[in-house]
Chains A and B, each alone.
Chain A
């Protein structure tokens, strides 16, 4: 069990550029979540996958954000036309079928938009 892995850990990008983050959940975890955490705040829910199906999206997820989990394993979160307000840490988490109350978080991907 190697834990939830996120890549890259840090990304600095210019406003208007696109960025993509990858998350590899714990093996055989069928539930995958994305959260966003800004400085001084707790994480906020963005979206949820069960296997490859994206079942829920927060209103925080504007149309510049898209998330996929094509084969029910790893997931990507893409932000198009980045804005300074997108600067945050993007956290991925996963949980196993049968124990959905135990959610394991990755170390996060820090995004700085300059």
Chain B
């Protein structure tokens, strides 16, 4: 079975400051890794994903995450945040290589609050 731990339940930062949201996972098999974002009263949106290849993946709005296999981590970073980045961020994993259901196992989420 897989599990995901998001080390910070809340992260307050000032606008234009850098931010890192931490994610560690546990799995006995290889996994795919994802970050989803949930804005207030909305569903989840895929932010970025690691399937294979380069361990550094980037989103279109300036976020990036790096897969670190030895540390079983997939931390999310942004060098300069904006008020509009205020949201809940979820890290998720799924087993590699299975056909059929691609079940996501989510962490508990990190609430990112950007202060002016």
| Chain A contacts to B: CB under 8 angstroms | 4, 6, 31, 33, 35, 40-45, 48, 50, 55-56, 91, 93, 95, 100-108
Query: What is the distance, in angstroms, from A3's C-beta to the closest C-beta of chain B?
Result: 9
The number of residues on chain B lying at the interface, defined by a beta carbon within 8 Å of a beta carbon of chain A, is 24
Q: Cβ of B43 and Cβ of A45 under 8 Å apart? A: no
* Nearest residue, chain A, Cβ from B36: A105
Q: Cβ of A40 and Cβ of B108 under 8 Å apart? A: yes
| Chain B contacts to A: CB under 8 angstroms | 4, 32, 36, 41-46, 49, 51, 90, 92, 94, 100-109
* The residue from A42, A48, A102 contacting B103, defined by CB atoms under 8 A apart: A48
Query: What is the distance, in angstroms, from A79's C-beta to the closest C-beta of chain B?
Result: 19
* A56 with B101, Cβ < 8 A, contacts A42-B109, A91-B44 known: yes
Q: Cβ of A43 and Cβ of B44 under 8 Å apart? A: yes
Q: Cβ of A48 and Cβ of B46 under 8 Å apart? A: no
> Which residues of A are found within 8 Å of B42, using beta-carbon distances?
107-108
* A43 with B108, Cβ < 8 A, contacts A48-B101, A55-B100, A101-B49 known: no
